Amino acid sequence: MKQIAVLGHGVVGSGIMEVLEKNRVQVEEKAGCGVEVRYVLDRRAFPGLPYSDRFVTDFSVILEDPEVEVVAEAMGGLEPAFTYARESLSRGKSFVTSNKELVAAKGDVLLALAREKGVRFLFEASVGGGIPVIEPIHRSLGPNRIQQVAGILNGTTNFILTKMLREGTSFQDALELAQRLGYAERDPSADVEGHDACRKICILAALAFGRHFYPEDVPTRGITGVTARDAAYAARWGGSIKLIGRARRGSGGRVALEVSPMLVPGSSLLSGVGDVYNAVQVTGDMTGDVLFYGRGAGKLPTAAAVVGDIAAALREPGNDCSLFWGPADPAMLLPPEEAPSQGYFRVSGLDREELELFFPGAFFLESLEEGEEALITPPATQGELDAAARAAEAAGGRILSRFPLL
Ligand SMILES: NC(=O)c1ccc[n+]([C@@H]2O[C@H](COP(=O)([O-])OP(=O)(O)OC[C@H]3O[C@@H](n4cnc5c(N)ncnc54)[C@H](OP(=O)(O)O)[C@@H]3O)[C@@H](O)[C@H]2O)c1
């Protein structure tokens, strides 16, 4: 029987206990041994549970117990999660986590420490919840030179945008519905402003391109500026608007990273991904496009991914050095203005003929409102599109919306 500890007994932490209890046979088969949770750490006590006697509030109890081999973290936040991760790894305990904030901020440091100490640092649940994506990208797609990773990485915003697109609901009404259904938190800012998706694309980019990328260096736009009118134009065009996190290999081996609402053509694999579902599309030079699709959050899907990591760390406690990326290198980031881009613009104050002067070769969508035009530019760089938008505004145009195309 091998001993583990679970940090946090909220949605995911309690789910870990449930998965371990309900699917004990499958888990132990995968782990190759019996698995026992010796400690659960939380601020609160949870009386009345069959395992209430295992709760502790002092992390040093876990750290000082030499029989605890794996620590599974589901508390969230950067601290004390980072300190607990560092201390666990330093003491030769593997550390697994569902915490994207921790991995996006400190993944390189913790991977290096795990390598040095010969133990595992695993984080499958940190991106895509229950969708296996870290391990397949790292291992199965390993022989590819990855060109692009793009994904719908946040279920709350995808639910809101789906409502806006399919039912013409306003952003505010769709957000309130998401909150009533328990999909959106009372403070939904990390979701709707794109920060959650940003952390996840940074983790995926690190896996794909081998370097740490900090969320604060990634241009990030949320969905608060998307209107039902934009959704209607997208639908007329046969596509949709999705909040996309995208990392692309650009010129000189540099990486273009962004999070933004994007106009997604109907032909894209990501276009039909609706409601709270998530999807990650990886384009490799050998394999072509691969799509990972499923429930990107939720108690049991996320907990199952954590338990998968626990089983892997128990079965193979020695460090798997190939799951690794190096520290951040600012020279790896393609400046946003140099990134290739194609834009959707909704503009008032100028007619088509005037707009053609600023956006030559643009494709105009059928206008849904007098005095307003919606257009899609030919491929350009983001800097060129910025200049065109500035020139159109100087000539009396008003840019009502602007999103890149996927
Ligand atoms: N929920 C999901 O569907 C989902 C999906 C993928 C990834 N994740 C990630 O998984 C992590 C956990 O999410 P969650 O939804 O389970 O959060 P949660 O429901 O808020 O649970 C966190 C638990 O940890 C406790 N905790 C927090 N800080 C602590 C500390 N310093 N010491 C002791 N206990 C502490 C909290 O206690 P208090 O309540 O007293 O603060 C709470 O019981 C987050 O990083 C999240 O991003 C969640």
What does 302-362 look like in DSSP terms, one character per residue?
HHHHHHHHHHHHHH--S--TTS--B---GGGBPPGGGSEE-EEEEEESS-HHHHHHHSTTP
Q: What is the DSSP letter of 222?
A: -
Given 163, 200, 242, 299, which residue is catalytic?
200
Within 10 angstroms of residue 145's Cβ, the number of other Cβ atoms is 10
Within 10 angstroms of residue 53's Cβ, the number of other Cβ atoms is 8
Handedness of CA 388, 390, 391, 395 (dihedral sign): positive
The preferred substitution site among 55, 60, 98 for testing ligand 1, maximizing ligand atoms within 8 Å of CB, is 98
Positions of the chain with pLDDT lower than 70, given as ranges? none
Can you tell me which residue has the tokens 């789910």?
A: 15
Alpha-carbon distance of 114 to 321, in angstroms, equals: 9
> H helices within 168-291, ranges in order?
171-180, 189-192, 195-209, 228-236
Residue 333, CA distances (Å) to 197, 209, 248, 326 in order: 18, 11, 10, 14
Q: What's the CA-to-centroid distance between 265 and ligand 1, angstroms?
A: 36
Q: What's the CA-to-centroid distance between 187 and ligand 1, angstroms?
A: 15
Q: What's the CA-to-centroid distance between 45 and ligand 1, angstroms?
A: 15
What is the position in ligand 1's atom list of the atom closest to the CA of 79?
Answer: 31
In sequence order, the 6+-apart residues with CB closer than 8 A to the CB of 56 are 39, 40, 41, 62
Q: What is the dihedral of CA 51, 57, 63, 66, to 10 degrees?
A: -30
pLDDT of residue 71: 99
Say if residues 39 and 345 touch (Cβ distance below 8 Å).
no
Q: Is 200 a catalytic residue?
A: yes
In sequence order, the 6+-apart residues with CB closer than 8 A to the CB of 29 are none
Within 10 angstroms of residue 400's Cβ, the number of other Cβ atoms is 18
Q: Following DSSP, what letter does each residue of 136-179 receive, concatenated?
A: IIIIITTTS-EEEEEEE--HHHHHHHHHHHHH---HHHHHHHHH
Say if residues 100 and 126 touch (Cβ distance below 8 Å).
yes
Q: Rounded to 5 degrees, what angle do the CA atoms 34, 38, 44 make? A: 140
The preferred substitution site among 42, 60, 186 for testing ligand 1, maximizing ligand atoms within 8 Å of CB, is 42
Q: What's the CA-to-centroid distance between 384 and ligand 1, angstroms?
A: 43
Q: Which residues pair with 349 in a beta bridge?
A: none
Nearest CA to ligand 1 atom 5: 297
Give per-residue pLDDT as tens, 260-272.
Answer: 999 999 999 999 9
Give per-residue pLDDT as tens, 298-310.
Answer: 899 999 999 999 9
In sequence order, the 6+-apart residues with CB closer than 8 A to the CB of 146 are 137, 208, 209, 249, 282, 283, 284, 285
Alpha-carbon distance of 307 to 281, in angstroms, equals: 24
Which among 161, 178, 355 has a CA at the least distance from the CA of 261? 161
What is the position in ligand 1's atom list of the atom closest to the CA of 99?
Answer: 45
Q: What's the CA-to-centroid distance between 61 and ligand 1, angstroms?
A: 20
DSSP-derived 3-state class of residue 248: strand
Q: pTM to 2 decimals?
A: 0.97
Token readout for 362 is: 């643009």
Nearest CA to ligand 1 atom 18: 10
Alpha-carbon distance of 250 to 129, in angstroms, equals: 28
Residues with CB under 6 A from ligand 1: 8-13, 41-44, 74-76, 80, 98-100, 125, 129, 297-298, 302
pLDDT of residue 321: 79
DSSP-derived 3-state class of residue 395: coil
